[in-house]
């Protein structure tokens, strides 16, 4: 599990309205400074992706990637991962593929 202090529980609308975002084929990252000495993460999946079991499985994989690489990610930011619903093959996407995409995206926005 992701540590409690690294979970984003509110301020989602503030981040969605912000101008800092990065678009990836699998997800969109919204990010903003939070003025703290740690980063927080939130995950959003629309119901169009599929049933709750699949949505929870995808979010769990994203959380595991973040948890395993938390020490590499720059502190002091809030991140929201808006996971795209238009990918029909989520069942076929591996943990390693998700990990690669997340790390490459965070490198592209200079947060690793």
13-42 per-position pLDDT tens digit = 988 898 899 999 889 999 999 999 999 999
Q: Could you tell me the two tokens for 88? A: 């029909």
Question: pTM of the entire structure?
Answer: 0.91
Domain boundaries, the chain: 4-76+86-108
Query: Rounded CA gap, 62 and 36, in Å?
Result: 22
Q: Inter-axis angle of helices 52-68 and 95-108, to 10 degrees?
A: 60
Report mean pLDDT in 10-residue bins for the chain, 112 residues: 91 88 92 94 90 89 94 94 79 87 94 84
Secondary structure of 37-68 in HEC code, one letter for each residue: CCCEEEEEECHHHCCHHHHHHHHHHHHHHHHH
Give dist(CA 25, CA 86) in Å, integer.
9
In the three-class reduction of DSSP (H, G, I as helix; E, B as strand; rest coil), residue 73 is classed as coil
Give the CATH class of 4-76+86-108. alpha beta
């Amino acid at each position: 599990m992701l540590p409690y202090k690294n979970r984003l529980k509110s301020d989602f609308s503030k981040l969605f309205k912000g101008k800092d975002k990065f678009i990836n084929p699998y997800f969109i990252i919204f990010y903003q400074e939070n003025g703290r000495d740690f980063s927080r993460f939130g995950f959003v999946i629309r119901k169009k992706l599929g049933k709750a079991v699949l949505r929870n499985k995808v979010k769990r994989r994203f959380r595991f990637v973040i948890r395993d690489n938390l020490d590499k990610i720059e502190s002091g930011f809030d991140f929201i991962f808006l996971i795209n619903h238009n990918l029909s093959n989520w069942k076929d996407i591996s943990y390693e593929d998700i990990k690669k995409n997340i790390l490459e995206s965070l490198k592209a926005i200079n947060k690793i």
